[in-house]
A = this chain, B = another copy of it.
Amino acid sequence: MPEPISIEELQLAVRNHGMPLEALRYPVTPLGLHYLLSHYDIPAVDPVSWRLTIDGLVSRPLELTLHQLHARAATEYVVTMECAGNGRARLSPRAFSQPWLDEAVGTARWRGASLAALLEEAAPREGVVELVFSGVDRGTEEGVEQVYQRSLPLAEALRDDVLLAYQVNGQPLPPQHGFPLRLIVPGWYGMTNVKWLSRITAVDTPFEGHQQASAYRLRQREDEEGIPLDRMLPRALMVPPGVPSFPTRERTVSAGRQVLVGRAWSGFAAIAQVRVSTDGGLTWLPAELERDADSPWAWTRWELPWKARRGQAVLLCRATDASGNEQPLEPRWNLGGYANNAVQRVPVTVVE
């Protein structure tokens, strides 16, 4: 069982929020239920004076108004997005950051302009290796004031499904999702999808900013360089069945026929299999998968009938993707508390 949560962690937990897992019932997460993590404060951006600057090592630097971005060809993708810190609060000892349990995920329909088309226009010069994306949100990291910045390798930025999104679920971006513009890189963890985007800079050396070189790396020790996080590891989650108690959230399920339902995703490949255990992991059964062929970046629905018998049960679900990545049964510890995709465990009491 993890250690108690500090008040500093609670400050983060009451501002930010996960997706209540019953919302796994929706193929597209309703606004307000999608997980949300703002590193700093949500900034107020004036859409009239706001500009997107594309600069650095490009032949034709661009400065675009929101109106100009809206006027371009628009594309739309349904994208499952998960925080790289999902599962952090189940690791011990635990990194001091947003204390997620399992809920830091959501799926939204993002609409915007193609990044590749804009880059073609700006024409990155020979030697460009990365693009640096800067938000307008300001904060202090290890004593240094900065805006939020992340980079992407050029090849990744040129994917035809990378968006500069100005709409979510058919509405203008709300402030908390990055109004007026955010980057959407399907398949990558949430920190990639820079909110309140105002600048894209082409560079010829790897970006060494805080969110790239210090945060969001898998490390066992502080003095390691570490492995940068990018694509989401596979994970399956279930709608916890039955009825919760308040405030413990212990769950009671009626004996008899139940259908366990959930969703699974991976940033590496399609979900190949979800296996479910209703006996604490002793035996496993394959769930039925229902893919949405039109939405390759959206999670895959799964379900499995379950004949619930009176007593205690621990339910587990475990995803494997088509690249052969499988969720571990136990958390894999790392210093920053990232990418803990250990299987979800849902204890329930079955009553007649």
Spell out A's residues near B (CB within 8 Å): 1-18, 20, 22-23, 25-26, 30-33, 36, 38-42, 44, 89, 96-101, 103-104, 138-141, 143, 145, 174-177, 240, 243-250, 252
Contact = CB atoms under 8 A, between A and B. Distances in A.
Contact of A97 (B8, B32, B38, B247): B247
A39 B20 CA distance: 12
Nearest to A143: B245
A7 B13 contact: no
A31 B31 contact: yes
B8 A247 contact: yes
A174 B32 contact: yes
Contact of A247 (B1, B12, B143): B12
Nearest to A6: B4
Contacts of A16: 17
| A contact face: mostly helix, strand, loop, or mixed | loop
A8 B4 CA distance: 10
Contact of A17 (B11, B15, B30): B15
Contacts of A248: 8
6 contacts: A4-B7, A5-B5, A26-B175, A32-B36, A39-B246, A41-B244
B14 A41 contact: no
Given A5-B4, A7-B5, A99 B245 contact: no
A15 B18 contact: yes
B12 A5 contact: no
Contacts of A31: 31-32, 174
Contacts of A15: 17-18, 20, 103
Contacts of A8: 247-249
B5 A10 contact: yes
A259 B7 CA distance: 28
B41 A20 contact: yes
A44 B27 CA distance: 13
* A41, A96, A141 pick with most chain B CB within 10 angstroms: A41
B140 A252 contact: yes
Contact of A246 (B104, B139, B243): B139
A36 B140 CA distance: 28
A145 B38 contact: no
Contact of A89 (B10, B22, B103): B10
A20 B33 contact: no
Given A20-B41, A30-B175, A32-B36, A7 B145 contact: no
Contact of A176 (B33, B138, B143): B33
B33 A244 contact: no
Given A7-B2, A14-B103, A244 B175 contact: no
A145 B30 contact: no
A139 B39 CA distance: 34
A53 to B, nearest CB: 22
* A15, A33, A42, A96 pick with most chain B CB within 10 angstroms: A15
B11 A101 contact: yes
B22 A41 contact: yes
A108 to B, nearest CB: 11
